Amino acid sequence: MPKRILFAIFASAICLATANAQTPATIADYLQQSSAGRVTVHQPEALNRRLSPTSGDTTNVATHHHFMGKKEMVGYRIQVFSDRNQRTAKGEALSKERSMKEAFPEMGTYITYDAPSWRLRVGDFRTRDEAASRLAELKELFPGYANEMIIVVDLINTAAQ
């Protein structure tokens, strides 16, 4: 009797392996089998924004987004501060933001927390050249912050322009 049970288990295992071999291994295989080679992808605008590059060339990116009533586009900001120290980073970001607002009240400031980092970014620049000229001004006015300041690609507010 134990031989019959072993044979039944072995036969079941072979049947399961054969059945699994016929199912698609990847989602691409599944799409090819089920759609005869034609695939249409629908994705929400929020996903498009998340897939937009955060650095580098932006020439091939859809440039305008509407989010919660704000018109945004891919542009440049100056990152003034970024730190992961949970005890001091938020306070330092707020302090540096006050300094930036006093010196340049017309320039937007943006503090973000993306665990575990606090960041302060300033400005809404459409071109890298605009950001570079303002970066030179900021470095001259705030030499203590100069080593941290860099130009980054970001979604900028076009209403502020």
- Backbone dihedral angles phi then psi of residue 95, each to the nearest 5 degrees: -65, -45
4-27 confidence digits (pLDDT tens): 776 667 666 666 655 555 555 566
| CA gap 156, 152 in Å, rounded | 11
97-139 confidence digits (pLDDT tens): 999 999 999 999 999 999 899 999 999 999 999 999 999 999 9
Architecture category of domain 45-157 in CATH: 2-Layer Sandwich (3.30)
| CA gap 63, 24 in Å, rounded | 37
Contact assessment for residue 127 and residue 76, using Cβ atoms and an 8 Å cutoff = yes
Q: Where are the alpha helices (DSSP H) in 60-149?
A: 89-103, 128-141
Specify the pTM. Answer: 0.57
pLDDT higher than threshold 80 for residue 154: yes
52-97 confidence digits (pLDDT tens): 555 444 433 344 444 455 678 899 999 999 999 989 999 999 999 9
List beta partners, residue 67: 70
- Domain borders along the chain are 2-35, 45-157
Alpha carbon 23 to chain centroid distance? Answer: 34
